[in-house]
């Protein structure tokens, strides 16, 4: 019931007394107050480029699914020299970001994000972010990984990583920097614990 009540409160927050739907935006801070307001999707990068085992793969923003406690953001494969999604034979068709939401307590606006990144069928990375910038890596499949002994790269190229971090910083209380995401960049500069 707790989640249903919170869901209903969020929906009511977007409907004014006349029954007109309005974006639930705090005009003082220009921040969105509910995940059910679809305008937050504009903050997602249109394209994401992945370095996987030394090859670059480009993905275009595709399907976005909203659930009561999570968001699934799917990117579809796109040839490097194209703007349109299409299947590339021999490589996974999707790169998906699953973001699960939790709040530490009802008094605080800060959220905890549990993020899974899936490349095709490969669970490539899982990590938890607690505001403002505490990150715990749960699963990691790049250099020096215990899960993937091939010792090859799985990482976002610099501009894609920056765009992803900028998107995450839109959530309440987040103050993330590129240095916090060494485990997700394409460089060999992270050693898992």
- 145 closest CA partner among 179, 178, 188, 115: 188
Say what the alpha-carbon torsion angle 36, 14, 175, 131 is, to the nearest 10 degrees: -70
pTM, to two decimals:
0.77
Say which residues have a Cβ less than 8 Å from residue 171's Cβ, sequence separation at least 6: 111, 113, 131
Share of the chain above pLDDT 90, in %: 37
Say if CB 137 and CB 124 are below 8 A apart.
no
pLDDT, tens digit, 9 for 90 and up, residues 15-26: 445 444 444 455
Per-residue pLDDT at 108 exceeds 70: no
Specify the higher pLDDT residue, 153 or 129. Answer: 129
Element (H, E) at 153: none
**Residue found by looking up tokens 């976005």 in the block:** 64
- 10 closest CA partner among 99, 101, 97: 101
Say if CB 173 and CB 132 are below 8 A apart.
yes
Cβ atoms within 10 Å, residue 78? 21
pLDDT, tens digit, 9 for 90 and up, residues 29-78: 555 555 555 667 888 999 999 999 889 999 999 988 887 788 899 999 98
Per-residue pLDDT at 27 exceeds 80: no
Segments in the chain forming alpha helices (H): 2-12, 158-168
């Amino acid at each position: 019931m707790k989640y249903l009540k919170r869901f209903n409160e969020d929906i009511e927050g977007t409907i004014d007394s006349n029954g007109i739907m309005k974006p639930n935006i705090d005009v003082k801070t220009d921040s969105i107050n509910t995940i059910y307001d679809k305008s937050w999707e504009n903050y997602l990068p249109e394209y994401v480029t992945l370095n996987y085992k030394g090859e670059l793969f480009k993905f275009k923003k595709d399907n976005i699914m909203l659930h009561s406690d999570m968001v699934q953001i799917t990117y579809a494969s796109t040839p490097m020299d194209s703007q349109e999604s299409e299947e590339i034979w021999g490589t996974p068709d999707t790169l998906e970001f699953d973001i699960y939401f939790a709040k530490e307590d009802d008094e605080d606006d800060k959220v905890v994000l549990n993020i899974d990144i899936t490349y095709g069928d490969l669970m490539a990375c899982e990590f938890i972010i607690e505001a403002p910038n505490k990150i715990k890596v749960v699963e990691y499949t790049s250099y020096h990984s215990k899960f993937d002994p091939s010792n090859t790269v799985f990482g976002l190229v610099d501009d894609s990583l920056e765009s992803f971090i900028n998107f995450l910083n839109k959530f309440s209380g987040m103050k993330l920097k590129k240095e916090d995401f060494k485990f997700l960049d394409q460089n060999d500069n992270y050693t898992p614990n």
